[in-house]
Amino acid sequence: MKKIYLYGNWKMNMTVAETKKFFEDFAPVYAQFKNDSGLEVGVFAPFTSLWAAAEGAKANGVVFGAENIYFEPKGAFTGEVSIPMVKETGATHVILGHSERRHIFGESDELVAKKTKAALDAGLIPVFCYGETLDERESGHTFDVMTRQLDAILKILSPDEIRKVIYAYEPVWAIGTGKSATSEQAQEVCEWSRKLIKDPNVVILYGGSVKGSNAKELLSMKDIDGALVGGASLKPASFIEIYAEYKK
């Protein structure tokens, strides 16, 4: 049985009060799977809620991380948050290259690669997101775009570092739309990614409208090791339901 990674990306949701409430509700829902060694749960919180997430994550035995970082350790970078600041909370992971960072905030492949390298150098595990837009898919450029996004990190990381990264394939057209990729589409890209990365053992997640009703077909695919979940991760019941449905 493969291990399943169930990671929740809270995006710009969850105040401190809401984070505390989430973990109060989370404990009873998660209890049935708490000792399941085939599951790793993680939550990714906004910076201001990281300390509250740290407390909740520790109490429940789940991992947690930030949704972004800047690659410089400190200095005149108004509005940015450094890796040491994030690590101080006890966070072990960080989401990098999410399509919302790439497309809304203009993060380039090079910037995402610099952040990925800096995170690894500091001992944070990057959850590296990549994926194509609808236009890119429909014009037949899915694999060119993803080759460019992945090559930006593969060319600067050592084989050991490449192995430590958690990859998350998130087709932009499936994010927040309720329209997930089919399990065949997601499997095709994850299998292709594993070959491009040239390491059969890397962890590759799928993200984009994952919920209880499509969890089993997606997570049962051979090259999909788990899910990066947006909307459904904001409530413990809909978040954990994803794994419960997979196990059925």
Q: Which of 113, 189, 118, 124 is nearest to 154 (CA)?
A: 113
Question: How far is C-alpha 68 from the geometric centre of its chain's CA atoms?
Answer: 11
In the complex, the smallest distance separating the C-beta of residue 63 from ligand 13P, rounded to whole angstroms, is 15
Q: Which of 212, 215, 214 is nearest to 235 (CA)?
A: 212
Closest-approach residue to ligand 13P (CB): 230
Note the residues at the interface with ligand 13P (CB under 6 A).
9, 98, 170, 175-176, 207-210, 228-232
- Residue 233 CB contacts under 8 Å (≥ 6 apart), including other chains: 7, 8, 9, 10, 43, 239
Do 50 and 15 form a contact (C-beta atoms < 8 A)? Answer: no
In the complex, the smallest distance separating the C-beta of residue 167 from ligand 13P, rounded to whole angstroms, is 13
In the complex, the smallest distance separating the C-beta of residue 102 from ligand 13P, rounded to whole angstroms, is 12
Catalytic residue check, 24: no
In the complex, the smallest distance separating the C-beta of residue 110 from ligand 13P, rounded to whole angstroms, is 21
In the complex, the smallest distance separating the C-beta of residue 20 from ligand 13P, rounded to whole angstroms, is 22
Please identify, using beta-carbon distances, which residue of 231 and 236 lies nearer to ligand 13P. Answer: 231
Catalytic residue check, 141: no
DSSP labels, 102-127:
HHTS---HHHHHHHHHHHHHTTPEEE
Do 150 and 198 form a contact (C-beta atoms < 8 A)? Answer: no
Q: Which of 89, 175, 155, 161 is nearest to 121 (CA)?
A: 161
Please identify, using beta-carbon distances, which residue of 66 and 232 lies nearer to ligand 13P. Answer: 232
Please identify, using beta-carbon distances, which residue of 56 and 208 lies nearer to ligand 13P. Answer: 208
Please identify, using beta-carbon distances, which residue of 230 and 236 lies nearer to ligand 13P. Answer: 230
- Choose the catalytic residue: 67, 107, 136, 170: 170
Which tokens go with 48? 């201001």
- Choose the catalytic residue: 67, 93, 98, 132: 98
Do 93 and 74 form a contact (C-beta atoms < 8 A)? Answer: no
Just list the catalytic residues. Answer: 98, 170
